Amino acid sequence: MEYIKIGNVKIKKTACLAPMAGMADTAYRLMAKKYGAAMVCSEMVSCKGLCYTDKKSAALLTVTEAERPMAVQLFGSEPEFFSKAAQIAQRYDPDIIDINCGCPVPKVVNTGAGSALLKNPDVIGGLVKAVKSVTDIPVTVKIRTGWDENSINAVETAKIIQDSGADAIAVHGRTKKQMYSGKADWEIISRVKQTVGIPVIANGDVSDPVSCKRMYDETGCDLVMIGRGSYGRPWIFEEVSHYLETGELLPEKKLSERLDILTEHIMLAVKLKGEFTAMREARTHAVWYIKGIQNAAHYRSMCGRLSTLEDFFRLKEEILTIN
């Protein structure tokens, strides 16, 4: 097994879990880690929220030993808030602090944060310096290729990020304008890797072990990051590790296995958040886990009405009886 190092953090060179707001909570991350995710990252946390003692923001920073190595991701646009937020984040003992410069969601971009920062890479450099000045924890930055097709500036931005002291950079191969549509541009990721000397984490259109291997081969990246490819499939990390080590593909999970893993995921979420909240969030996860099965449209409708564990076990029994 190969490893890379980000600062003093040793990480398996397989695949890590992308930070995903509203999706990759503690339960999701623990499931990914169980199946071999090389690293996980918190949902994004507002710097201002932390600085104004927002309890919801602080709760997102919790790091459990089972999740290590784990990064916490901060978003915002002002250096003074980033430096204070980084100091607060340190109390939770993360392995890495990540700066979000890639989120394309309007409510984030409209505040000047996330992908909006790609319009002024020097500001990103200032954020890196602000965080590095208050912590010895490794600092990484996640970006996109640019704001739109007419302003592709990932290489220029990566240079500034490196020169400002960051320990690694993650590149999603899409522009802000693309959101999550179209095809990711792996060639830009390759150019970033050729330009900087710090580790480069590649993200975009990796949905299985074969595309993960191809990402490594085509970009020369140091680590692959998987986001949407893990929806309803936390075992993708196990598949990737096995394929990279042996060149062999693991057999597809049987439906009964998938539902058992979903059960474990939901039970873990209930333990962490309580049944009321966990079951409402489980509606989305359940749809992904059952994707592609017979009568999926009918079961998706049932997933959308999940409110209790009893509802879920009734759904599971019906799926296994008919499929």
- Strands 139-144 and 40-46 come out as unpaired
Query: What is the spatial distance between Cα 58 and Cα 92, in angstroms, rounded to a whole number?
Result: 9
Q: Rounded to the nearest 5°, which phi and psi values hold at 169?
A: -135, 135
**Which of 16, 41, 101, 103 is an active site residue?**
103
Task: Return the SS3 of 89.
Answer: helix
Calculate Rg over the CA atoms of the chain. 19
Establish whether 47 is a catalytic residue. Answer: no
**Considering only CA atoms, which of 11, 12, 16, 27 is closest in space to residue 285?**
27
Half-sphere exposure of 261 (CA within 13 A, CB side): 22
Query: What is the spatial distance between Cα 102 and Cα 77, in angstroms, rounded to a whole number?
Result: 12
Task: Return the SS3 of 98.
Answer: strand
Query: What is the spatial distance between Cα 140 and Cα 61, in angstroms, rounded to a whole number?
Result: 16
Q: Is the peptide bond before 251 cis (omega within 30 degrees of 0)?
A: no
> How far is it between the farthest Cα atoms of the chain?
59
**Considering only CA atoms, which of 50, 57, 70, 54 is closest in space to residue 6?**
70
Write the single-letter amino acid at 117: L
CA distances from 126 to 5, 154, 293 (A): 24, 17, 49
CA distances from 151 to 4, 39, 108, 204 (A): 31, 31, 20, 19
Catalytic residue numbers, as ranges: 103
